[in-house]
């Protein structure tokens, strides 16, 4: 069955901008207005972060936004309530939920998938979900609800493992740009990073790729787009939302600054 993520990659001739923001940040009820503002401003895919107390793959900016969101009262039930009618307002843009396995497990994986599908969510990113566990326990459930899992690939991921991830995926591959957590400065020499992107491109994988981690502005977005179908921005957007009274306006302005 086709879903919105696949459609987005099929119909677009241009490079795709995927933006991440944390649900319930900066205020509990900013989730939907920010989501709408991001799509109106031209974001092609949206990742909604499900806040977690101990997010291992994230840097300080996203961790801080998660802490604020949790303090605001965000949790899975609240998020699904907020997203309930989202498809009336944002009919086409693919929406992914990104978070960590423990809150999903406590909610119940099947419950989570059912609620996500009912809200019109298209994909799920759980960085600490092991591939083997996904295949053994969750793949069937994800399929039943037409939710596409997205897996990460790093410069250290072995070619055989990249092939396996590509086989298990039918949405896109999330290329982590270099060593580090989200929002980190890219410490790698540009040549090293480009060689890695090129190496992955040369593997002629079946899925399209989006590059994430350390992408912060128009220049880094465009650079990443040379080697992939698009790129993912998270921490830089969260920073732009920090301290603002009008989160949707700040979100829209940020997207415009990357795209225009």
- Compute the C-alpha angle 49/237/74, nearest 5°: 30
Of the residues 58, 115, 166, 229, only one is catalytic, namely 58
- Do the Cβ atoms of 152 and 177 come closer than 8 Å? no
Note if 47 is an active site residue. Answer: yes
Of 7-15, 39-47, 156-164, 219-227, the segment contacting other proteins by CB under 8 A is: 156-164
Least separation in angstroms between residue 103's CB and other proteins is 4
Interface with other proteins includes 101 (CB under 8 A)? yes
Interface with other proteins includes 161 (CB under 8 A)? yes
- Which DSSP state fits 8? H
Go through 212-239 and write b for each residue having 16 or more CB atoms within 10 A of its CB, e for each that does not.
Answer: bbbbbeeebbebbbebbbbbbbbbbbbb
| Residue (50 or 255) nearer to other proteins, CB | 50
Interface with other proteins includes 57 (CB under 8 A)? yes
Binding other proteins (rule: CB under 8 A), the pick from 179, 195, 199, 206 is: 179
| Residue (18 or 182) nearer to other proteins, CB | 182
- What whole-number distance in Å separates Cα of residue 70 and Cα of residue 61? 14
- Do the Cβ atoms of 51 and 24 come closer than 8 Å? yes
Binding other proteins (rule: CB under 8 A), the pick from 139, 154, 244, 257 is: 154
Residues 70-89 interacting with other proteins (rule: CB under 8 A): 70, 75-76
| Residue (88 or 160) nearer to other proteins, CB | 160
- Which DSSP state fits 238? H
Note if 58 is an active site residue. Answer: yes
Least separation in angstroms between residue 14's CB and other proteins is 28
- What whole-number distance in Å separates Cα of residue 218 and Cα of residue 182? 17
| Residue (99 or 248) nearer to other proteins, CB | 99
Query: Which pairs with CB-CB distance under 8 Å and at least 24 residues apart come from 132-136?
Result: 134/168, 135/168
Active site residues: 47, 58
């Amino acid at each position: 069955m086709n879903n919105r993520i696949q459609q987005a990659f099929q119909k677009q001739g241009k490079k795709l901008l995927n933006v991440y923001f944390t649900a319930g940040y900066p205020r509990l009820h900013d989730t939907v207005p920010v989501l709408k503002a991001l799509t109106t401003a031209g974001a092609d895919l949206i990742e909604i972060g499900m806040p977690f107390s101990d997010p291992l793959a994230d840097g300080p900016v996203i961790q801080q936004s998660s802490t604020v969101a949790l303090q605001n009262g965000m949790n899975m039930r609240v998020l699904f309530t907020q997203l309930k009618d989202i498809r009336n307002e944002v009919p086409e843009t693919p929406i992914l939920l990104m978070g960590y396995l423990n809150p999903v497990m406590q909610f119940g994986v099947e419950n989570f998938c059912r609620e996500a599908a009912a809200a019109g969510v298209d994909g799920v990113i759980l960085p600490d979900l092991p591939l083997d566990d996904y295949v053994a326990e969750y793949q069937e459930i994800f399929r039943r609800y037409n939710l596409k899992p997205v897996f990460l690939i790093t410069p250290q991921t072995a070619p055989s493992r990249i092939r396996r991830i590509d086989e298990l995926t039918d949405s896109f591959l999330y290329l982590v740009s270099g060593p580090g957590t989200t929002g980190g400065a890219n410490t790698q020499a540009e040549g090293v990073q480009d060689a890695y992107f090129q190496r992955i491109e040369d593997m002629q994988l079946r899925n399209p790729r989006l590059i994430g981690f350390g992408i912060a502005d128009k220049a880094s977005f465009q650079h990443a787009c040379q080697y992939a179908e698009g790129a993912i921005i998270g921490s830089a957007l969260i920073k732009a939302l920090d301290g603002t009274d009008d989160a949707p306006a700040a979100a829209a302005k940020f997207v415009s600054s990357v795209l225009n």
